[in-house]
Amino acid sequence: MHQFNFPNQTHYYQGKVRDVYTIRDKWMVMIASDRISAFDVILPRLIPFKGQVLNQIAAYMLNACSDICPNWLLTSPAPNVSIGHKCEPFKIEMVVRGTLTGHAWRTYHSGKRSLCGAAMPDGMKENDFFPIPIITPSTKAAEGHDEDISEAEIIANGIATKAEWEILCSYALQLFERGKAIADKQGLILADTKYEFGKIGNEIYLMDEIHTPDSSRYFIKEGFDERQANGERQKQLSKEFVREWLIQNNFMGKEGQTVPEMSDAWINEISSRYIELYEKVIGEKFVPERLSDEETFDRIVEALEF
């Protein structure tokens, strides 16, 4: 993707899948690229319309949750672009888990009954619902992997004050309830997700994307209980299918491993799966839109004239 240079631009950062521009140290322009990453590695080929899918799901979800807490988003002037407030981020991710899945299950299966200070009851099976959702925060690592952290460590390390932590928890749990309700209408279960927050002055804002298939795990509601009762794998909506394909082809991001060849047919399959995710998660038909770099630039500059 082309690197832009906007009027009054004060910073530029390229993440794994997004390009982020800071304007006047006050606003952020976030461009969701068609890059895809897995196992902390950017895969060599672009996935058509992936950026648009994730950007538009995030904008939809932020607007659907805007009554719960302030959020960073101001406008989305192009299909893969969001513009919003620059916040001072809390250096943690607020991971909310409704079910015993993924990292929580691996921890539980190893015999532990506590994760980040949150208790996990005895007698649970993989993907069972927790009695109430739990919050298992992780650090936001500049490099390497994020790590589990507890409430006590967050407060002791000055990452958030006790009062701030209580607000973060309250917002995260309310957002999760709203996310679950939106998912339920679409025949989905929001199993777990993560939220990021920041501050402008003393006010806490919700940042980044929310309830997207890259930041969340969704299960198909139909047949969920039967699959649980029979000990079958749950059907899920996320980019897990890409990870599974890589694992089958002996790639897990480890030293000496090379990314397997990604054929045109497989790229088109990933793209169509992302479009299916969009339509299932928000219940609207996806309308692919491809702008030239010049048109994207012009739309962003026009939108920045607040």
Tell me the pLDDT of the chain (306 aa) as tens digits: 689 999 999 999 999 999 999 999 999 999 999 999 988 899 999 999 999 999 999 999 999 999 999 999 999 999 999 999 999 999 999 999 999 999 999 999 999 999 999 999 999 999 999 999 999 999 976 666 679 999 999 999 999 999 999 999 999 999 999 999 999 999 999 999 999 999 999 999 999 999 998 899 999 999 999 999 999 999 988 888 898 899 999 999 899 999 999 999 999 999 999 999 999 999 999 999 999 999 999 999 999 986
Nearest to 54 by CA among 83, 29, 33: 33
Structure-block tokens of residue 300 = 């962003």
**Amino acid symbol at 116:** C
Residue 88 burial (CB < 10 Å; 0-12/13-18/19+)? exposed
Distances (CA, A) of 188 to 102, 172, 234, 238, 283: 17, 19, 12, 12, 11
Structure-block tokens of residue 271 = 């793209």
Judge whether 195 and 97 are in contact, CB under 8 Å: no
The predicted-structure confidence for 111-165, as pLDDT tens digits, reads as follows 999 999 999 999 999 999 999 999 999 997 666 667 999 999 999 999 999 999 9
Domains and CATH numbers, the chain: 9-88+241-287 (3.30.200.20), 90-237 (3.30.470.20)
78 Cα distance to chain centroid: 20
Judge whether 197 and 206 are in contact, CB under 8 Å: yes
